[in-house]
Amino acid sequence: MRIVVAVFQLTALGGKERDCLATARCLADRGHEVIVLTTAVADGVSGPFRIVLLPVKGSTNHSRNASFARDVLAQRQSAKADVLVAFDRVPGADFFFAADHTYTLRYKGWSAWLLPRRRMMLAIERGLFDAAARTRIFFLTARQRDEFLDAYGFDPARGAVLPLILHEERYAAAAQASDRAVVRQRLGVPEAAVMALCLGIPARRKGFDRAMEAIVAHPNIHLVLAGSSDRWVAPRVKQLKLQDRVHILPYGENVMDLLTAADIFLHPAREEAAGIVIGEALLAGAPVIVSSVCGYAPEVARSGAGIVLPEPFRIEALRDAIGEVTRELPTFRQLAAAESARLQQTRGHWLRFIADRVEEGAVTG
């Protein structure tokens, strides 16, 4: 089959972009001709597929998104593709990978209809989910699916919830992770300290500020903040007098090395449709403390390999959770190790799930 995969950009390789490239590789490895449509690509991005760059049209984000959707449909027609899989909102796509929350949660009230940007973004999304649409949807979690169902009331048969997403390179990196003691020594974390880790961008959305405030009450904890260069982070560390216990790392450090070296992974995020890093932490055998807004929080609750913080968020709850996990660290690490072993058995399931349904969809139309 000839399959078109569309994503707006491949320069900042966040979760959605990595998921897109992994899907394209999987489909190509199964013998399909895969064309990836995008507007920009980072150096070094390649694979067993062809990348076609589309022009960026429009002076605003919403006009560029609308133009991209139109151009993708035109390219699909000219390429005579059998299937179109979209990782950004493209009404008329055969499949849509829903990488974030519905716009209806963000754009509410009169401004959703009076402001051109919001009106257009909602219209684009509605083109995928209203009753007349035939697009089949891949959801990250059941909670995310239910949010879209509440907003649009589409036929539930059009949606499918993916297995937990973990990328192949994370499995490989976990198997080759550096020695814990070596990583901790390089970071400047004392041997007797408990190492907590926060990972992701942007820092405030991922709850870095919450983690910093919570460890003030735990003098034996050293906190590693990895992935964010937000300007407010360093001044906040100084304000809390945590300069000796907080270690700030730029994006690019080996994620699995850090997770393997950590005693606790902290993810008190304010917003997270799924949170692939939660699965990565469990794969590394690190206990997780996570806010309940995260889509993958139920994985932590099910495995027992950590604590899920209730909403509304309270800093006292995070402090108490850190204390509990620290006191019972051997037990939580044992549960995290068991979950890591289980995840090894599910390697590649999410990609096979997508590929099977794309192939079935091409046959059944």
Indicate the DSSP class of residue 139.
E
Question: How do residues 199-218 score in pLDDT, each as one tens digit?
Answer: 998 999 999 999 999 999 99
| Banded pLDDT at 250 (limits 50, 70, 90) | confident
| Separation of CA 160 from chain center | 17
Q: Which fold has domain 2-163+348-364?
A: Rossmann fold (3.40.50)
User: pLDDT per residue over 124-149, tens digit each?
Assistant: 999 999 989 999 999 999 999 999 99
Residue 346: what pLDDT? 96
Q: What is the DSSP string of 40-104?
A: -B-TT---SSEEEEPPP--SSHHHHHHHHHHHHHHHHHHTT-SEEEESS--TT-SEEEE-S--HH
User: Domain boundaries in the chain?
Assistant: 2-163+348-364, 168-344
Q: pLDDT digits over 14-30, tens only?
A: 889 999 999 999 999 99
Instruction: Tell me the CATH architecture of domain 168-344.
Output: 3-Layer(aba) Sandwich (3.40)
Whether residue 35 contacts residue 84, with contact meaning beta carbons closer than 8 Å, is answered with no
Asked whether the CA dihedral 249, 255, 259, 261 is positive or negative, the reply is negative
Share of the chain above pLDDT 90, in %: 90
Within this chain, domains 2-163+348-364 and 168-344 share the same CATH topology: yes
